[in-house]
Chain A
């Protein structure tokens, strides 16, 4: 039977043979996919994953067992990735004006994507392009929630925001995906402001 994250961490702290290796094996693919989608570069994603694990190794004694380990490691990955993107000055930002709030209110409250529209997302290239049009925070929420299965509370811990903010970001992300799927994104799109150096 697979060991839990908490058991693995405990074994690593007791210097049990092979435990850290097992942790690396367990989390390399999720962290790699997370950083790859945010940076768009294979080499950068590998470097960021490596840096994340180096930080995990150095700070494992500071891990609080009360917290989800998955959320903790993704917090480190998220901070490492945003530091990298800040240095490169490629973090896009979302600006919500009054008009954008009004536009949101006119849309249906149901933050889902219709099945016929969802079929378009099954094409990896389309999903990649659409995700890249979203602000980085929205991308993180979607990746952490749907790809990694984190709850909104856990995502809140990762991005250091209240769960309600995360739910709001999630809703806006879904709405924006839906809008972009039904209408190709362009510069006049009311919901999204693209900062300079968008990935």
Chain B
């Protein structure tokens, strides 16, 4: 395994770490993108640990910082983050294609990173795999059932309801601290889920060209996702078949702070990626190593 710090992009201002197996000859690589403003090491160092495990299994990767994040310089143009992030993911693919002769890619991201990975895959045919951690989610009838079932049996929920009606509820404190202290040259991104119909159309197009997805949901996005298989159910009108592997870790938080959950995520993603990188996998769908939580394929 070998790691190298690189500079790339049209102005050489993007910083990344390429992590590679000892031998050359890989035909597929994984590109890992920022989650929010967390730098390229990933939440709780997830990207570093995953990159090294992948390299041991023969899969190269590039983890990098978008402009203005981590160790990459801010852009000089006024391109919105949604556009510049996609452009920069393509520049990462270009670097791997030019320097390593790799032509097929999986892009991995958490939260806003998942959003940008998805947006890049819409435009970039070289991306034929996505690993999305807490991506956009769309509520289903079962979501609402799960949501309200938990509440009708909760004493706290009844108390809140009573307080609201009695006018006794104390307003939550106004946000203070970190948000007001953000650096001015940070890219701005407000996470808004696109209309489900748009995402359904994109998924249909991606599936038609053979793209495969591993979507892993934590319990930290409970406002949008709360039961195993919700993604498949919410896109019932798209023939995803075995192209979608969906995993739910209900006890995990959004950035996987529990060490046990980190191991589950690493094992699941590594298994899926290694299978996807096997030339024989082109004949069939990759399978994640068994996760300890609910999984729906």
A binds B: no
Interface, chain A (partner B; CB < 8 A): none
